[in-house]
């Protein structure tokens, strides 16, 4: 009984260790972000009109806690965040930052999810095509194409997609997540409307990141065919499609999952760019506008949200890896 | 199921197929670079785009008309149907329309006007334009539709001052103490009642605002549109793309670089309209390089402003001549701008004692090389581009200007403290043409970034600011412009125009310097 529980206890210990490390990392990110923003030049609440009475500026400073010494500001901010998830009020709009981010996080997750789906669909598909006949013209073409899309900046690909697919051909809407007055649509029509707005930015973002997946899938599948398992499958007379789809992809899966976690920061930064090009009302657009407006509480919270997403993705990938690879459980 | 799949595919792939459908003339889609976080103007962002939207739901007492070419601002009735000053101009009695009502049916009353003044001047509310009421000592309710403003000074700006800011609904908003207004801007959506030609129908934060026709508006035949959908598009290029793709009927805030993409497009036309802005380089006269007017004049001669305007603005700006911009009645049309004349600049600099003694290509005076930092704020793309051209122009006369981008808040702090050498900035002038903040010697530490001081300029500014007949002060302002031209505390680079694009089938559109949506209530589809 005790022996049977040992691996479970080990996994729990591993999970707790990873979660604790993630929490410490998150705290460090919060602190560094606060320090960086606090150390930036300029007073975000200094009135840009000298006619504004000084007592009004002082009132705003008191409202946002900027009349306190910096350590007190930090402790108050950190306490509010950790105890009640209160990120303060936006300097620009006066609205609670939590509300702003609560509104902009789902669109970003939707876009990132769509992009991730596209990235893996295209990447694995192209990897399979390339691995079918290594060093053929098709293989060379796929490898060259994957290098090309990897090298192209997301904003450029996005702009070209907007100009050609949206403005030129009229095949996709190019702004926002919904059509005008979409609240008038029924549930199904509203869903289709969102999908119609999603496919192009998700394709652009996914395409720009599919190269890595394609190259890894290709090399992994080719390598699998040289392993004992691959040779045994071939010797049993299994068709190539079964070998690669069932056994080859299972062989590549742990690393592919790890790549998903590694690409989470890239996906988020790419989403910021894609959101700007496609006027997607997500975390990236909110962050960009906050940076331009010097809206410190929003910048702080958006950075922390971004960090939290990356840390969470990383943690999830680690745990999945443990789940998929029994050797790690033993370790 | 198959039908559903086909419908989905059509929606996803065949997006452009809808463009041949007949136009829905009940609604208009407008692209704005806006954010609309609250209907309470006193705690909202102090931006033109925000005001343009808020004005559609909350009228002010009087409405400023957008043409300043012929004379000082003209005020048309808004919620006020009439007004009159006392003989000493220390009292202004305003009669409200008796047919104006809030969207919940309550009448707009004099109590609302007094409540608005109390809120506007409350330090807890901290309204960014509260200074307009510096001379207002009381707002007295005479009867439900008559209110009297009491001033402690007879200012020519009284009508502008009492009309700055919308009238707020006392019965709906007084339940919330002023001290709590800034803490919860969303509350005003819950307690929203409006009195303008449009009402709020729907809001998707950060994305969209839908306004609907107010059927009870006191101008019974207005507005002519049933629904106006305002779509947030912060980036100018994205705004243009959406317009060209047919997602928008109107786009305001178009950038000059995008204008050529719209100009000549079938079904669209571009309107360039004046605004009240100008961009200038301010020379800090407390720095040794800019202490004498002769040197500052030489800088004006050395910089090719026409080339800057042609290169950066593609024809959508004009070279500035004066801080009293050319679209304003008091602009001196006979004022000759400094020509681009590098040779004359070199001569003037030599006469002012600037000579390249050590042969390094940079002129010096008293052993100090003419090398200074030329700052502007980050995000000001046109100014940054202009600064590269200014740097090149000045280099030809032996001056080393070093462009530098500064974070906007940091620059805002440094300018009034004279913690800069020279800076390229932009400003929108008040239509009351009070130039005290910009050039009066007592305003150093405020907008007088140059620390400029000229007793004659001070006298002319004071003389004009206290006139109750601004038109009679035209000669004072012409004289002031000539002094500023000679003293050159700032070099006016350009006056931009604002750009908006409209669908050809829209009629009665007339954006102006007050607002791109100035007469939105009169717009209609043909």
Select the residue of A94, A177, A199 nearest B43 (Cβ to Cβ).
A94
Query: Å from B132 to nearest chain A CA?
Result: 9
Q: For residue B171, name the pLDDT band (cuts at 50, 70, 90).
A: very high
By C-alpha distance, the chain B residue nearest A179 is B247
Q: Answer yes or no: do B238 and A94 touch at CB < 8 A.
A: no
Element of type H or E holding B412:
helix B408-414
Q: Answer yes or no: do B35 and A92 touch at CB < 8 A.
A: yes
Q: For residue A47, name the pLDDT band (cuts at 50, 70, 90).
A: low
Q: Answer yes or no: do A170 and B205 touch at CB < 8 A.
A: no
> Under DSSP, is residue B384 helix (H, G, I), strand (E, B) or coil?
helix
* Chain segment A26-42, per-residue pLDDT in tens: 899 889 988 888 887 77
Q: For residue B9, name the pLDDT band (cuts at 50, 70, 90).
A: very low
Q: How distant, in Å, are the alpha carbons of B287, B296, B449 from that of B418? A: 9, 17, 6
Calculate what percentage of chain B has a pLDDT beyond 90: 64
pLDDT(B51) > 70: yes
Q: Answer yes or no: do A180 and B231 touch at CB < 8 A.
A: yes
Q: Which of residues 98-117 of A touch B (CB under 8 A)?
A: 99-100, 103-104
What letter would DSSP give residue B107? B
User: Residue B36 has what pLDDT?
Assistant: 86
The answer, for B404 touching chain A at a CB cutoff of 8 Å, is no
A116 vs A206: CA distance, rounded Å = 6
A144 vs A256: CA distance, rounded Å = 21
Q: Which of residues 176-205 of B touch A (CB under 8 A)?
A: 182-183, 185-186, 202, 204-205
Using alpha carbons, select from B72, B54, B188, B86 the residue that is nearest to residue B471: B72
User: Residue B21 has what pLDDT?
Assistant: 63
Question: Looking at A130-139, A246-255, B80-89, B162-171, which range is the least confident one?
Answer: A246-255
Tell me the mean pLDDT in the region B226-240: 90
Q: For residue B163, name the pLDDT band (cuts at 50, 70, 90).
A: very high
Q: Answer yes or no: do B409 and A94 touch at CB < 8 A.
A: no
* Chain segment A89-145, per-residue pLDDT in tens: 888 888 899 988 888 889 998 998 899 999 999 999 898 888 888 888 888 988 888
ipTM of the complex: 0.80
User: Residue A260 has what pLDDT?
Assistant: 77
Tell me the mean pLDDT in the region A11-29: 85
By C-alpha distance, the chain A residue nearest B446 is A50
Phi, psi of A51, rounded to the nearest 5 degrees: -80, -15
pLDDT(B253) > 70: yes
pLDDT(A228) > 90: no
CB B150 within 8 A of CB B140: yes
Mutation test of the interface with chain B: which of A38, A42, A104, choosing the one with the most B Cβ atoms within 10 A? Answer: A42
Q: Answer yes or no: do B16 and A289 touch at CB < 8 A.
A: no
By C-alpha distance, the chain A residue nearest B201 is A181
The answer, for A176 touching chain B at a CB cutoff of 8 Å, is yes
User: Residue B357 has what pLDDT?
Assistant: 92
* Chain segment A187-217, per-residue pLDDT in tens: 999 999 999 999 999 999 998 888 888 888 8
> Under DSSP, is residue B421 helix (H, G, I), strand (E, B) or coil?
coil
The answer, for A309 touching chain B at a CB cutoff of 8 Å, is no
B125 vs B344: CA distance, rounded Å = 54
CB contacts, 8 Å: B229 with chain A: 180-181
* Chain segment A303-315, per-residue pLDDT in tens: 888 888 888 887 8
Query: Å from B482 to nearest chain A CA?
Result: 26
The answer, for A287 touching chain B at a CB cutoff of 8 Å, is no
Using alpha carbons, select from B345, B374, B373, B371 the residue that is nearest to residue B358: B371
CB contacts, 8 Å: B127 with chain A: 56
**What are the start-end ranges of the H helices in B174-315?**
187-190, 236-244, 256-262, 293-302, 305-313
Q: How distant, in Å, are the alpha carbons of A157, A222, A290, B442 from that of A164? A: 10, 37, 30, 57
Q: How distant, in Å, are the alpha carbons of B189, B202, B209 from that of B27? A: 23, 14, 13
Using alpha carbons, select from B103, B92, B100 the residue that is nearest to residue B144: B100
Using alpha carbons, select from B507, B457, B506 the residue that is nearest to residue B481: B457
* Chain segment A54-71, per-residue pLDDT in tens: 777 788 888 888 888 888
The answer, for B82 touching chain A at a CB cutoff of 8 Å, is no
**What are the start-end ranges of the H helices in chain A?**
2-38, 54-63, 70-84, 97-132, 137-151, 154-161, 187-224, 228-235, 240-242, 249-278, 283-293, 296-324, 326-330
Q: Answer yes or no: do B245 and A181 touch at CB < 8 A.
A: no
CB B261 within 8 A of CB B501: no
Q: Which of residues 30-69 of A touch B (CB under 8 A)?
A: 40-44, 46-53, 55-57, 59-60, 63
What letter would DSSP give residue B23? P
Q: Answer yes or no: do B8 and A63 touch at CB < 8 A.
A: no
* pLDDT mean across residues, chain B: 90
* Chain segment B321-367, per-residue pLDDT in tens: 999 998 899 999 999 889 999 999 999 999 999 999 999 999 999 99
Query: Count of A–B CB contacts within 8 Å?
Result: 177
Query: Å from A242 to nearest chain B CA?
Result: 30
Establish whether the linkage from the previous residue to B223 is cis, with ω within 30° of 0.
yes
By C-alpha distance, the chain A residue nearest B239 is A175
Question: Looking at A19-33, B63-77, B300-314, which range is the least confident one?
Answer: B63-77
Select the residue of A94, A177, A278 nearest B185 (Cβ to Cβ).
A94
* pLDDT mean across residues, chain A: 84
CB A281 within 8 A of CB A288: no
User: Residue A48 has what pLDDT?
Assistant: 65
pLDDT(A329) > 50: yes
The answer, for B131 touching chain A at a CB cutoff of 8 Å, is yes
Q: Answer yes or no: do A51 and B437 touch at CB < 8 A.
A: yes
B197 vs B217: CA distance, rounded Å = 6
User: Residue B433 has what pLDDT?
Assistant: 87
CB B372 within 8 A of CB B289: yes
User: Residue B86 has what pLDDT?
Assistant: 94
The count of other CB atoms within 10 Å of the CB of residue B319 is: 20
The answer, for A286 touching chain B at a CB cutoff of 8 Å, is yes
């Amino acid at each position: 009984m005790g022996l049977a529980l040992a691996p479970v206890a080990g996994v729990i210990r591993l999970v707790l260790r990873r979660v604790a490390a993630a929490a410490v990392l998150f705290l460090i990110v919060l602190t560094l972000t606060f320090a960086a923003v606090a150390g930036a030049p300029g007073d975000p609440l200094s009135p840009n009109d000298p006619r504004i009475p000084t007592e009004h500026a002082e009132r705003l400073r008191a409202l946002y806690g900027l009349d306190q010494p910096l350590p007190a500001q930090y402790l108050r901010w950190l306490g509010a965040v950790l105890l009640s998830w209160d990120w303060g009020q936006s300097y620009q709009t006066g609205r609670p930052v939590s509300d702003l981010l609560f509104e902009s996080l789902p669109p970003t997750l939707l876009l990132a999810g769509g992009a991730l789906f596209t990235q893996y669909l295209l990447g694995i598909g192209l990897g399979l095509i390339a691995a079918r006949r290594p060093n053929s013209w098709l293989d060379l073409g796929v490898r060259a194409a994957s290098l090309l899309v990897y090298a192209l900046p997301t904003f450029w690909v996005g702009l070209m997609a907007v100009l050609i697919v949206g403005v030129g051909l009229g095949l996709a809407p190019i702004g926002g997540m919904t059509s005008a007055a979409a609240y008038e649509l029924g549930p199904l029509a509203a869903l289709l409307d969102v999908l119609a707005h999603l496919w192009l930015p998700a394709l652009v973002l996914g395409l720009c990141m599919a190269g890595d997946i394609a190259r890894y899938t290709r090399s992994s599948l080719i390598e699998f065919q040289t392993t004992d398992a691959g040779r045994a499958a071939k010797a049993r007379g299994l068709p190539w499609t079964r070998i690669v789809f069932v056994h080859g992809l299972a062989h590549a899966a742990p690393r592919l999952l790890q790549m998903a976690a590694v690409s989470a920061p890239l996906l988020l930064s790419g989403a910021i760019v894609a959101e700007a090009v496609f006027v997607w009302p997500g975390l990236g657009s909110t962050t960009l506008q906050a940076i331009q407006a010097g809206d410190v509480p929003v910048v702080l919270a958006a950075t922390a949200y971004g960090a939290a997403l990356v840390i969470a993705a990383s943690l999830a990938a680690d745990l999945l890896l443990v789940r998929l690879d029994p050797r790690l459980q033993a370790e | 199921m198959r039908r559903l799949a086909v419908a989905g595919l059509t929606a996803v792939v065949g997006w452009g197929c809808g463009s041949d459908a007949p136009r829905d003339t009940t609604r208009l889609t407008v692209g704005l670079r806006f954010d609309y976080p609250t209907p309470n103007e006193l705690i909202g962002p102090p931006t033109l785009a925000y005001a343009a939207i808020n004005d559609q739901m909350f009228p002010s007492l009087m409405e400023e008309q957008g043409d300043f070419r012929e004379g000082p601002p003209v005020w048309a009735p808004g919620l006020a149907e009439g007004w009159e000053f006392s003989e000493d101009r220390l009292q202004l009695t305003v009669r409200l329309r008796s047919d104006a009502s809030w969207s919940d049916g309550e009448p707009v009353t004099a109590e609302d006007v007094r409540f608005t003044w109390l809120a506007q001047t409350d330090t807890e509310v901290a309204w960014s334009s509260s200074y307009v009421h510096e001379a207002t000592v009381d707002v007295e309710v005479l009867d439900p539709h008559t209110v009297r403003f009491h001033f402690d000074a007879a200012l020519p700006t009284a009508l502008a001052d009492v009309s700055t800011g919308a009238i707020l609904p006392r019965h709906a908003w007084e339940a919330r103490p002023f001290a709590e207004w800034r803490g919860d801007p969303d509350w005003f959506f819950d307690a929203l009642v409006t009195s303008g030609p449009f009402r709020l129908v729907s809001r998707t934060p950060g994305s969209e605002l839908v306004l609907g026709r107010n059927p009870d508006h006191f101008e019974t035949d207005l507005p002519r549109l049933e629904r106006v959908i305002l779509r947030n598009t912060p980036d100018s290029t994205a705004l243009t793309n959406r317009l060209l793709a047919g997602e928008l009927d109107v786009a305001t805030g178009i950038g000059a670089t995008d204008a050529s993409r719209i100009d000549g497009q079938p079904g669209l036309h571009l309107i360039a309209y004046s605004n009240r802005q100008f961009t200038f380089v301010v020379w800090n006269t407390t720095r040794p390089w800019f202490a004498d007017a002769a040197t500052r004049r030489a800088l004006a001669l050395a910089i090719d402003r026409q080339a800057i305007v042609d290169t950066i603005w593609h024809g959508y700006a004009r070279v500035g001549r004066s801080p009293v911009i050319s679209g304003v009645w008091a602009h001196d049309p006979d004022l000759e701008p400094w020509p681009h004349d590098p040779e004359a600049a070199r001569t003037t600099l030599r006469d002012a004692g600037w000579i390249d003694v050590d042969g390094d290509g940079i002129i010096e005076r008293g052993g100090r090389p003419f090398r200074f930092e030329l700052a502007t704020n980050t995000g000001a793309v046109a100014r940054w581009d202009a600064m590269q051209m200014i740097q090149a122009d000045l280099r030809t006369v032996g001056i080393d200007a070093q462009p530098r981008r500064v974070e906007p808040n940091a620059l805002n702090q440094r300018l009034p403290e004279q913690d800069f050498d020279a800076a390229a900035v932009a400003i929108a002038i008040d239509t009351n043409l009070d130039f005290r903040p910009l050039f009066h010697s007592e305003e150093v530490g405020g907008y007088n970034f140059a620390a400029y001081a000229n007793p004659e300029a001070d006298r002319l500014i004071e003389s004009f600011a206290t006139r109750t007949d601004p038109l009679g002060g035209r000669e004072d302002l012409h004289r002031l412009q000539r002094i500023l031209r000679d003293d050159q505390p700032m070099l006016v680079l350009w006056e931009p125009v604002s750009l908006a694009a409209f669908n050809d089938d829209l009629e009665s559109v007339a954006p102006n310097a007050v607002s791109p949506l100035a007469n939105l209530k009169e717009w209609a589809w043909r």
